Structure 1
């Protein structure tokens, strides 16, 4: 009953506070969104509006974060949860935005147990204690179908963290998904990516995915949305698992005859 009234309040708020056309329509031309259907874009628009309503965005340095910038960020951020719903991001509230890459403390233990600490320049970071941090420069580099998207990457980590509070490449799977199939698909891909780091063989996928299982899941999530044909060809079992997890099929969206024009209150959309 509580969830019912919460949804009603949310739907009422969304009806009263849509993202304005002059802010939304330019965003729909981003390559990563160009193959969404009219109904998917409408749902994405609502999710983006709720995202901006519920997340505190804190710009740092000299960055002035305008409304168009907010919508560009939100549209990319909610693409992974297009069919998962608002609640998929309900366990964190803050986004921190730097103008460009930022320094963050790093800590790792090497193979003999020595702890190494330092600082590293990052394009994004999903912190287990709450906020997600982005470089705005790198956010704008994201939606161009090159297989690299820092927003999708970091929010894949956030989805991963819902299963125990830290990212390990094993998010909470939906009912009907098979845990063994997930483990088999990602373990094989991870092992292959690791082998490529020691060879001269070209990889169409960023070998940062070979760092650990959490980065493997996040990088392959980027590729799933940005270069789905590549992922389907190289790691078809991973593609199938991500299709089930995100409840989307980006390869299917590439079929040119999939959609007919739909008449909306804003005119015909292709």
Structure 2
């Protein structure tokens, strides 16, 4: 599976038919400008050459599965470079969501354990885990901008400085400005999500999972920024401008 990509220039190793099939699966990729799609193809080939895909519990990672994940994963780093993903090699793909056992000790020293159903997980310095059903777009539900691949790879960007805090590695002054805006936007979103859940208020357009923590809000906001950029810019103009400056993205008018 994609072994030959490691022996040839990646941009020439993705067959046209496979590339077209993958693009047609994701409307937000088809709508990217032609020059960006070509750069995505080039960088997706480079990522495929650099990473190792593993199917969990018998799941078969086909060329289409691997390329589908790769092209979504490189979208956030299209203008940053693949070096942002150089802290890991493995990408583990499950057929569907999985149940993860969680353990946490509270401030009183009491250990709590619970099961959590997850569609993806990014480990600091370790692999990325993804559900293919979600990566393929089959679990999007009512959230227009849902994208588990972008979500988990944004976590990877966030954690490059060893902190999952909703801010990528930045110089001190830029970091302060970033977190000031991010915290303000997060608190407003969290309040909206609480009102929707507890008091029947209007549902949030962004996935309410973003209300869990500021790092989850960062990942959820980036899903929308890349998947539905026009609406995101209309509803979160300040964040869109912040992300433009970091990701170097070019939104269509």
Long gaps (5+) in structure 1? 1-11, 256-270
Q: What is the TM-score with the length of structure 2 in the denominator?
A: 0.86
Measured after TM superposition, the shift of residue 176 of structure 1 is: 11
RMSD: 2.5
Q: Is the Cα–Cα contact under 8 Å of residues 161 and 167 in structure 1 kept in the other structure?
A: yes
Q: d(CA) in 1 for partners of 2:211 and 2:11?
A: 45
Q: Is the Cα–Cα contact under 8 Å of residues 166 and 179 in structure 2 kept in the other structure?
A: no
1:188 to 147, 166, 184: 184
Q: Residue 56 of structure 1 aligns with which residue?
A: 52
Cα offsets for 1:175-214 (capped at 9, x unmatched): 7983333122211111111212331233111121111111
Q: Residue 149 of structure 1 aligns with which residue?
A: 147
Note the 1:66-145 alignment, pairs <5 A: 66-108=62-104, 114-141=110-137
Q: What is the TM-score with the length of structure 1 in the denominator?
A: 0.81
Measured after TM superposition, the shift of residue 73 of structure 1 is: 1.2
Q: d(CA) in 2 for partners of 1:234 and 1:22?
A: 37
Q: Is the Cα–Cα contact under 8 Å of residues 163 and 170 in structure 1 kept in the other structure?
A: no
Moved over 3 A (4+): 107-115, 142-145
Q: Is the Cα–Cα contact under 8 Å of residues 182 and 238 in structure 1 kept in the other structure?
A: no
Long gaps (5+) in structure 2? 1-6, 196-200
Q: How many residues align?
A: 240
Tell me the SS of whatever aligns to 2:161. coil
Q: d(CA) in 2 for partners of 1:125 and 1:77?
A: 13
Tell me the SS of whatever aligns to 1:121. strand
Note the 1:22-33 alignment, pairs <5 A: 22-29=17-24, 30-33=26-29
Q: Is the Cα–Cα contact under 8 Å of residues 76 and 143 in structure 1 kept in the other structure?
A: no
